[in-house]
Amino acid sequence: MLHERNLEQPQRIGFLLVPNFSMMCLLSAVEPLRVANRFAGGDAYRWQFISATGGPIQASNGMAIMTEAGIDDVADVPVVAVVASEDPLRNADPRIYPWLRKLHRQGRDLGAFDTAPYLLAEAGLLSGRHVTLHWEVLDAFREAYPDVDARDALFDVDGSIFTCSGGTAALDLMLDLISQHHSHELAVSVSEQFMHHEVRQADVTQRMPADRRAGTHNRTLVRAVAVMEQNIEAPVSLAEVAAACELTKRQLDRLFATHMGKPPLRHYLDIRLERARHLLSQTDMPVSEIGFACGFGSSAYFSRAYRRRYGRPPRAERSQAA
């Protein structure tokens, strides 16, 4: 249904909004459909906003969307996409889980944007599937649901389940849908309306290339940072990082001092602490487990390092996020 070509019947999509959902993601999904209708000269796409009980739902930016129906009042919609953001398990109404399972049994297409794959997983709909979701929670999701193949991609389609990493990646997903459901020409016209000059493919990685994140085009430094980012739970020694870059330990020290203004050990620690901060604010993983997942051998060491970096201990960070 989602990607079937049908020029006679409008594609109908329901967007299930979870409190604290991402407005950026929702608009990146809806606006391409609006423009597609404009160029198609009719209702190629129809959509409605749904929530657990109907009424206004507040987004993470404080703005509210008035939903048109609660889950008990939704008419026959062949495609439903769940839109979430921060802390989806805590924000979601548990009544959506049996409803999503019912839709799945009925053969509906189900989507999940940003962190919403957590909700499909909790509903028991993702075992053995491949999905994507926002990079900040990708590792935590893999820990929580090892039976799901969570991939670093902009969007992903696995049969009747489609997922999107959030943000402007929703635009790329919708352009793909428009291309397959209607025509490539229509998708290009929509893309150009948003000055979106490159229609990104599904398997493009979410984050900036390592050289842009590191603020340098030095390939050796980029390689060193990549080795660190790939070895967070079980940190490797600096000697191993240097060897992977065909450097001596002293050369590695000079490289970081020249381009990063700090020693490589400090940068490696900063990478692990940044990952820990994401997990503290975006997941319900116990603080001790987050420490171990980020390569800290003891809770005390994790707490000291975190306090030095961010000015407060991990538990205080978790309390503020809550």
Q: What's residue 266's pLDDT?
A: 95
CA dihedral of 34, 40, 43, 45, whole degrees rounded to 10: -60
Please check whether residue 283 is in contact with residue 140, taking contact to mean a CB–CB distance below 8 angstroms.
yes
- Euclidean distance between CA atoms 105 and 84, whole angstroms: 22
* Contacts with 261 (C-beta within 8 Å, 6 or more apart), sequence order: none
Q: What's residue 65's pLDDT?
A: 97
Six-digit token pair at 233?
């739970």
Looking at residue 182, its amino acid is H
pTM exceeds 0.85, yes or no = no
Six-digit token pair at 311?
């000015």
- Euclidean distance between CA atoms 80 and 108, whole angstroms: 8
- Euclidean distance between CA atoms 50 and 57, whole angstroms: 9
Give the domains, in start order, of the chain with CATH numbers.
11-193 (3.40.50.880), 210-321 (1.10.10.60)
Please check whether residue 227 is in contact with residue 273, taking contact to mean a CB–CB distance below 8 angstroms.
no
- Euclidean distance between CA atoms 280 and 321, whole angstroms: 8
Instruction: Identify the DSSP state of 7.
Output: S
Distance of alpha carbon 300 from the chain centroid: 31
Q: What is the mean pLDDT of each run of 10 residues along the chain (322 residues)?
A: 61 96 98 95 93 97 96 91 94 97 96 98 98 90 93 94 96 93 91 85 71 73 91 95 96 92 94 90 85 94 94 87 58
- Euclidean distance between CA atoms 17 and 22, whole angstroms: 9
- Euclidean distance between CA atoms 276 and 116, whole angstroms: 21
Residue 95's nearest CA partner among 65, 55, 41, 53 is 53
- Euclidean distance between CA atoms 187 and 207, whole angstroms: 24
Q: What's residue 71's pLDDT?
A: 97
Angle at which helix 249-259 crosses helix 264-282, to 10 degrees, equals 70
